[in-house]
């Protein structure tokens, strides 16, 4: 989201603000349904709130990431890689080694683009909400 201040009792109104809003699952309620909470992440000045363009493989990996959230904001590296390789969201290749290479390449791309970070053996999303992504065609996803 991006906006322009119209009233600010603590300073100038000549500032633009930008932030993303996401949803974090922090557990389950008594019925087993997800218990969620909204959060906002401020974007750096001048960054604007534009959608990050992602390939289908990258979007698939982020979806797998969200499925493995265990009440925290991170996912175990081994579990994420294993689930992404065994599934077909990142790569539809029949050969397991091809899917493994595709998952590794997709993770590398997301880390390079500062979408994901690896810390202490766990992947974290970096300052973006999952709804902030635009899916692009990925001709290499089905290799």
Give the pLDDT confidence score for residue 54 in this predicted structure: 82
- Non-local (6+) Cβ contacts of 40 within 8 A are 19, 20, 21, 22
Give the pLDDT confidence score for residue 79 in this predicted structure: 93
User: What does each of the 143 residues of the chain score in pLDDT, given as a tens digit?
Assistant: 566 667 767 766 666 667 667 666 677 788 888 777 777 766 665 555 455 678 889 888 988 888 887 677 889 999 999 999 998 889 989 999 999 999 999 999 999 988 889 999 999 888 644 444 444 444 444 43
pTM value?
Answer: 0.56
How distant, in Å, are the alpha carbons of 39, 49, 63 from that of 90?
27, 26, 10
Look up residue 56 and give its two tokens. Answer: 């289908």
Give the C-alpha separation, 6 to 72, whole Å.
36
What DSSP designation does 120 have? Answer: T
Q: Does domain 52-142 have CATH number 1.10.10.10?
A: yes
Longest dimension (CA), the chain: 61
Domain with CATH 1.10.10.10 in the chain: 52-142
Give the C-alpha separation, 52 to 60, whole Å.
14
Give the pLDDT confidence score for residue 99 in this predicted structure: 94
């Amino acid at each position: 989201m991006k906006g322009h201040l119209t009233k600010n009792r603590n300073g100038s109104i000549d500032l633009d603000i930008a932030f993303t809003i996401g949803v974090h699952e922090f557990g389950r309620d008594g019925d087993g349904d997800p218990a969620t909470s909204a959060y906002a992440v401020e974007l750096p000045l001048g960054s604007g709130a534009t959608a990050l363009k992602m390939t289908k493989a990258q979007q698939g990996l982020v979806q797998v990431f969200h499925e493995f959230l265990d009440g925290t904001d991170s996912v175990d590296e081994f579990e994420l890689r294993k689930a992404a390789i065994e599934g077909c969201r990142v790569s539809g290749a029949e050969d397991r080694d091809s899917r493994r290479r595709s998952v590794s390449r997709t993770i590398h791309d997301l880390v390079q683009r500062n979408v994901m970070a690896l810390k202490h053996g766990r992947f974290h999303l970096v300052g973006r909400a999952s709804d902030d992504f635009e899916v692009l065609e990925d001709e290499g996803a089905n290799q």
